[in-house]
Structure 1
């Protein structure tokens, strides 16, 4: 019962973590403009892994995707790859975890096979959570470096190069801080990691420790071989007839035949 509960809880947490990583990958608020001491408040810019957006004070928002990958930093491309690998591993792990649930009957599948599938799905979900956390942390490190060396003067250091994020900035280079997608990715990766650990722990309780035993009797051969000899002694020949003796001991000629 405890193994089944641990497996179900791990599966539910894995689904929630997968939803967090997928949502974080598609969000645009990975890096948001720092409005503290910003002289320009009419324009608010933010960017994600796939495009950068500018929102004006009137409410109009314009987004521009990154049309090429050649002008982007290698770290940004690595973050994309980590998030995609995390999503693929998590999806495969969740699919395997569905078929390995102990509360579901899948034909004549034994518990040992389900335990092995649960362990495999737990390892995949662990790796998916690590990939998600590593990708978000790498992007956060990029924001920290950009925030330290970026000024509001013209020609300052920009997070994606001298031209600003997506080429949407003007003469002033804004500074960027952590966006909402980073926190969603951190939480989703952590929940996915915990779900993978719970599935790995549930594997131990699902495998049967007691093996089937067969009761039997051991037979031991004799240490000395037994030799059986045939009886070669002569046996008296019996006649079918029997002579009756008289009272005085003399043998009578009278015979009695027995049939």
Structure 2
């Protein structure tokens, strides 16, 4: 019962985590503009793995996809690859987990085969979670490095001989974590938990599937076996049933009386 519960819970968490990383991969808000102390709020920009969008204060949003592949940074392409690999592994693992469910009867499939399929599905779901977490963390590291070395004004605000409150340099927006990163982290963590539960369920199924047979041991007789004579008392021999002959001698004829 515990193995079945772990298997079903791992399967459901695998489905939920796969859906989460699919949603995170398709979202455009991986990096959003930091509005803290931003003097310009009429334009709000954000970007994802596939598009770069700009939203104006009027509500109009314009998104432009990345038409090139070779011109993109290598880290962005690596993040794309990790997320796609995580989605593929999660989908295949969930598909195998459907046929490996202990509560479903698939012909004459034995429990040890289902246990092996459950282990394979658990490993795939676990790897999918690791790929999702690695991809999101790599993109978050890129945002952190860009945030540290980006300032709003290269020449500085009005200070020391400049006009107070005036801008004298070029404006460069800074980006921070977007909602897609948190969705990807949560989805990857859910996939890791689901994969661990599937592996634990495989262990429980393999132990329950082993049948124990209580056999009897046979011990061969020893060559030096000693046989004892029968010392039990025997009944006395009664000759009363024998018929006497005419001359008085006992005859060997027997008669049965009913």
Fold-level match, TM-score > 0.5? yes
Tell me the residue number matched to 2:181: 182
Cα offset, 1:210, TM superposition? 3.9
List alignment gaps of at least 5 residues for structure 2. Answer: 156-169, 225-246, 248-258
State the secondary structure of the residue aligned to 1:88: helix
Measured against aligned partners, the alpha-carbon deviations of 1:12-41 in whole angstroms (never above 9, x if no partner) come to 111111111000000000000001111211
How far apart in 2 are the matches of 1:177 and 1:196?
31
CA distance in 1, matches of 2:66, 2:25: 15
In the aligned structure 2, how far is the partner of 1:142 from the partner of 1:199?
33
Tell me the equivalent position of 1:211: 211
* Counterpart secondary structure, 2:108: coil
Deviations 1:126-177 (A, max 9, x none): 000000000000000000000000122369xxxxxxxxxxxxxxx6321000
| Pairing 1:97–2:97 present | yes
1:252 aligned partner: none
4+ runs deviating over 2 angstroms: 152-155, 208-224
CA RMSD in angstroms comes to 1.9
Q: What residue is the counterpart of 2:138 in the other structure?
A: 138
Partners of 1:18 and 1:88 in 2: how far apart?
9
Partner of 2:7: 7
Deviations 1:172-193 (A, max 9, x none): 3210000000000000000111
Q: Paired residue for 2:235?
A: none
Q: Which residue pairs with 1:88 in the alignment?
A: 88
1:64 alignment partner, SS class:
strand
Secondary structure (helix, strand or coil) at the match of 2:176 reads: strand
Q: Does structure 1 conserve the Cα–Cα contact (< 8 Å) formed by 2:55 and 2:61?
A: yes
Secondary structure, aligned partner of 1:46: strand
Q: Contact (CA 8 Å) 2:112, 2:209: kept in 1 or not?
A: no
Q: How do residues 117-156 of structure 1 correspond to structure 2 at under 5 angstroms?
A: 117-153=117-153
**Per residue, is there more strand in 1 or in 2?**
1
Q: How many Å apart are 1:211 and its aligned residue?
A: 3.5
Q: Which residue of 1 aligns with 2:65?
A: 65
Q: Cα deviation per residue 1:181-231 (whole Å; 9 max; x = unaligned)?
A: 00000000001110000010011111136434363563748759xxxxxxx
**Which consecutive unaligned segments of at least 5 residues does structure 1 have?**
156-170, 225-246, 248-259
Name 1:196's counterpart in structure 2.
195
Contact 2:31 2:175 in 1 (8 A): yes
Normalising to structure 2: TM-score of the pair?
0.77
TM-score, length basis structure 1: 0.76
What is the rounded CA distance, in whole Å, between the counterparts of 1:77 and 1:97 in structure 2? 30
